Each structure stands twice: as C-alpha cells, then as structure tokens.
Structure 1
Amino acid sequence: MSDEWWYIAVSALAAGGGWLLRSLSISGAAAAVVIGAAVGCGFSWGGIWVLGCFFVSSSFFSHIGKQRKAKLSEKLAKGGRRDAIQVLANGGVPAVLALLAAVRPDPIWDDLFVVAVAAANADTWASEIGSLSPWPPRVWPSFRPVEAGTSGAVTLLGTAASFAGALFIAAVGVFFLDVRPVFTLAFFGWLGSWFDTWLGAAWQAAYRCPACGATTERKWHCGQATIHMKGWRWLDNDAVNVLSVIFAVLAAFVLAR
C-alpha cells in the first residue's frame, strides 16, 4: 500500500476515535481525514505527528472539567463536538501549506506549517485550560473583569497555557521536521493566539438574549432570535480562528525570513 493510502488510513482511524470520544461530529471527522491526508502528502509522517499531537492534546484537555465547561456552552455558538467548519478553521491553513509543499517543495513550508498548528494549539489550550481558572477572566485590552466565556477575555492560566501549547507543537515540529529553533516557532504560534484574543474582544460578533439577558455568540437563544450587540456579524469564532492562524503564518513569513 502506498504512503498516501497509509496517510488516509491513519487519519481515518484518528478521526474515528475522535468521533467515538465525542470530540468530533461526523462532518468534523470527515474533514479531519481530508486534512490529515493532505498534511501527509505535503510533510510525510513528520507532519502527521505534528497534526496528531495537536488533535490528541486538544481533545484531552477538552474532556477535563466538562461539567464546568458545560455551564459556559450557552455563551458559545457551538457545542463540544467539533464540526467540519471548526476543524477546517484550525486545520485548513496547515492543509493548504501541505499542498503547497507537495506542489512546490521549499523548507519555508515546514516552518510555516508548524507555526500554523502551533497557533491553533495555543488558542485551543488557552480556551480549554483557561476556562478552568479560579479567577474571573479579563477582557483585553482594558483588562476589566468579565464573565467566563466572553470572547476576547483572558486569564493568567489561559495565557500560560497558550504559550505552553505553542511551545509543545514547536517542540514536536523540531523533533520530526527540519525546522527553525523551537522558541522562534513557539513565539509566532503564541502571537497568533494574541491576535485571536484581540479579534475576539474588538470585532467578533456578540448577541444578547431578550428572554434571559445573557450575552452569547448564538444568533438564537431561549427559542428566539438574539439581538446584535457588537462586532461584525460575519465574524464568528470560526472566522476568528482561521484569521488568527493566517496572521501567525504571515507574521512568521515576513519577520523570520
């Protein structure tokens, strides 16, 4: 069996496990297979390892403190099972970089790929671990305290987790791929997470439920349409995620050449 089929098989196995563990929906699992196959074609098994470490670690942390996180779900536009759009928001850019690497090989693609995954992992760890903070989050840049689950809010625990997430993926990338020093890659991944925070605080759409008064990312709440409060209506959490990954990649491309 050719390597391409092995990439598909391994990706399908991982996606199936994610579906069984309720980390992925059916559409999310299908998208994960496509992304995994693309990454394998572009970066071989080294890329699969980097992507796999992102998926496994993010899924692991998503299952910690599930009862507490369930209370925050009313603020979020989507539930805990990631659908295809959510998977593509985090893995779409790495997949595109993998296809570019396959068509036009260049060492720069390896660096940018690791930065892209590091940015996605930094944001995921910040959200999953930061939501467990015993202290209330603060919204950036004013740093006034807000309710947990508010877009663009940060905690000290989440900020530390964000850097740890970027550093973890950068370390895996340095081990399995021929890429730049680990802290350079981690820095740009972490930078993407901060861009995500800024977008979420300043421009992401937020709505208010007329029935219960809750601030939420949902357009429907308590069985009725919510009222738009701030931000661009098209800029939901998925759009913020993909834009932050793109920002991290562009920053690394421009500043680290």
Structure 2
Amino acid sequence: MSSIMYAIIILFVSYYAYKRRSLTMSGAIAAFFVGIGIALGFGYKGLLILGAFFVSSSMLSKYKSITKQSMEKKTQKGSTRDWLQVMANGALAAIVGVIYFFTKESVWIMVFAILLAAANSDTWASEIGSLSKKRPLSVRTFKQADTGTSGAISILGTFAALAGSLVIAFVAMLLFPIQPWGIFLIFLFGFLGNVIDTLLGAFIQVEYKCPVCGQIVETKLKCHKTVVKIKGFTLFNNDMVNVLSGFFAVLGYLYFHW
C-alpha cells in the first residue's frame, strides 16, 4: 500500500473518531500524526495493533459511562480523548515506528507491541476496574480509596489489566513473526507497564483538593475555588505518568534483551 493511501486511511479514521466523539479535534490531529509514524515503520500491521488498542479502549470508555461519572469528575476528562491523552499513549509508539523504518531491527517490533500492551493494560484496568462493586485499595496507604484514584487497585481492575496486555500480545503474534516466548514477554512487560503506572500514580502523580467542597482532582482546573496541591509533583500529571510507565516498561525489556 502506498504512503498516500495510508495517509488517506489514517485521516479518514481520525476524522471518523472525531465525529463519533471518541476524539476531540486536537485528539484527531494528534492521532493522525501518531498513525503516520506507526504506518511508516510497521505498515498496516502496526495500524491494526493500534486499532485494537484504540477501538477497545474507546468502547470501554463509553461502556456504562454514567457509572463512571465519579472517575471522570476526578480526572476532569471524559470518554473523548484530547491530544495529550493521544500523545501520552501513542507518541512513543510512533517514534519507535520511525526508528524501525530506518533500522529494520526486529527488537523494535517487540518494543512497539510492549508500548501498546502497556497502554491497553492501563486503559482496561481503569475502565473496567472502575466498575468494581468494591472500592479500590491504595498501594500507598493500603486503605480503601475512591473509584478512579490513581495508584489504587482492585481485583477486577487487575484481571482487566492482565487481559488488556494479553490481547495486544496475541494480536501482535497474529501479525508479526513473533515466537511464543516473545508473546509472553509482550504480555509480561505490557502488564508491568500498568504496575509502574500504578506505583507512579500512588507516589509521584499530582493531586489537588478543592478547599470548599473537598473534592480531590488531578488537574488545576477550578472546582469551587482555586485548588490546592496535596500530593505529588506538578509535572507528573496522569498523561506524564502514562508516558513514563510505557517508557520504563520498554527499558525493562531492552535491559532483559541486551
């Protein structure tokens, strides 16, 4: 397939996602460039893996969205993804696509798959875990936390994280010449990315509190009054944590590989 055809297809899908309100306008533009980077290196196979992540995560985001309103209020982001969310989950994968285009070294196929497995694992954990009937447990305080709290885990969310990573591993196996051991590594390091995300969310991700109503949120957007930081570092918001979790998962794999 020619580069022009890839660009047309990616543009159409990005626009369609915008019209379906899965992406904001900025998110659609970011998705286009992420798709171009991935298509450049991995062709339609890379786009299919990206599609498996995007379609499943979008469907899960909209599933029982009313039930998830408390989580969306906390993050102050709904099921429509903006450019920061798109780049947090796809920018590194696009960069890896460009690297593979120039090097053709098979290790970058694994890195690409692990990045999307980590993103899928984290997304499934958040979207499905938020439906748990039991409140999650904070890994920092070992106490129950509100639904949607970064750094908190539930049994349902953990199983969802495992499933999310495993799905991407199997899709990668069907599309690329990856051995069974490689499938396990994609699954393992993809899930590890979710674990890292949880730890970073618990210990360094920023949280703010409204001094009026006591609502705890993850952005500086105003509630009833200017919010006050109560935990973490300003730079490390949810999007930054998503980037770092995938990055560290890949570093772990590269250390193991080399």
Q: Which band: TM-score by shorter chain?
A: over 0.9
Q: Are residue 20 (structure 1) and residue 1 (structure 2) matched? A: no
Q: Note if contact 1:90-1:241 (Cα within 8 Å) is conserved in structure 2.
A: yes
SS of residue in 1 equivalent to 2:230: strand
Q: In structure 1, give the amino acid aligned to 2:154.
A: T
How many pairs are equivalent? 256
Distance in 1, matches of 2:191 and 2:250, equals: 11
The aligned counterpart of 1:73 is 72
Q: Note if contact 2:30-2:87 (Cα within 8 Å) is conserved in structure 1.
A: yes
Structure 1 unpaired stretches of 5+: none
The aligned counterpart of 1:82 is 81
* CA apart distance, 1:104: 1.5
Within a 5 Å distance, the mapping from 1:37-186 to structure 2 comes to: 37-181=36-180, 182-186=183-187
Q: In structure 1, give the amino acid aligned to 2:124.
A: W
Q: In structure 2, give the amino acid aligned to 1:217.
A: E
Of residues 134-143 and 228-237 in structure 1, the stretch that sits farther from structure 2 once superposed is 134-143
Q: Note if contact 2:140-2:151 (Cα within 8 Å) is conserved in structure 1.
A: no
SS of residue in 2 equivalent to 1:229: strand
Matched-pair identity in %: 39
SS of residue in 2 equivalent to 1:234: coil
Q: In structure 2, give the amino acid aligned to 1:110.
A: I
Distance in 1, matches of 2:20 and 2:96, equals: 28
Q: Give the 4+ runs in structure 1 shifted more than 6 A.
A: none
CA RMSD of aligned residues (A): 1.3
The aligned counterpart of 1:198 is 199
Q: Are residue 11 (structure 1) and residue 26 (structure 2) matched? A: no
Of residues 112-121 and 216-225 in structure 1, the stretch that sits farther from structure 2 once superposed is 216-225
Q: In structure 2, give the amino acid aligned to 1:188.
A: F
Q: In structure 2, give the amino acid aligned to 1:23.
A: S
Distance in 2, matches of 1:180 and 1:214, equals: 48
Q: Note if contact 1:205-1:233 (Cα within 8 Å) is conserved in structure 2.
A: yes
Q: In structure 2, give the amino acid aligned to 1:57.
A: S
SS of residue in 2 equivalent to 1:244: helix
Distance in 1, matches of 2:248 and 2:234, equals: 20
Q: In structure 2, give the amino acid aligned to 1:92.
A: A
Distance in 2, matches of 1:245 and 1:224, equals: 34
Distance in 1, matches of 2:134 and 2:184, equals: 29
Structure 1 residues 221, 180: CA separation in 2 closer, same or farther (over 3 Å shift)? farther
Q: Note if contact 1:111-1:180 (Cα within 8 Å) is conserved in structure 2.
A: no
SS of residue in 1 equivalent to 2:63: coil
The aligned counterpart of 2:245 is 244
Q: Note if contact 2:140-2:203 (Cα within 8 Å) is conserved in structure 1.
A: no
Q: Note if contact 1:133-1:157 (Cα within 8 Å) is conserved in structure 2.
A: yes
Distance in 1, matches of 2:16 and 2:222, equals: 31
Q: 1:70-108 CA distances to partner (integer Å, 9 max, x unpaired)?
A: 232221043321111110000001000000001121010
Q: In structure 2, give the amino acid aligned to 1:66.
A: S
* CA apart distance, 1:133: 0.6
Q: 1:184-205 CA distances to partner (integer Å, 9 max, x unpaired)?
A: 2100000000000000000000
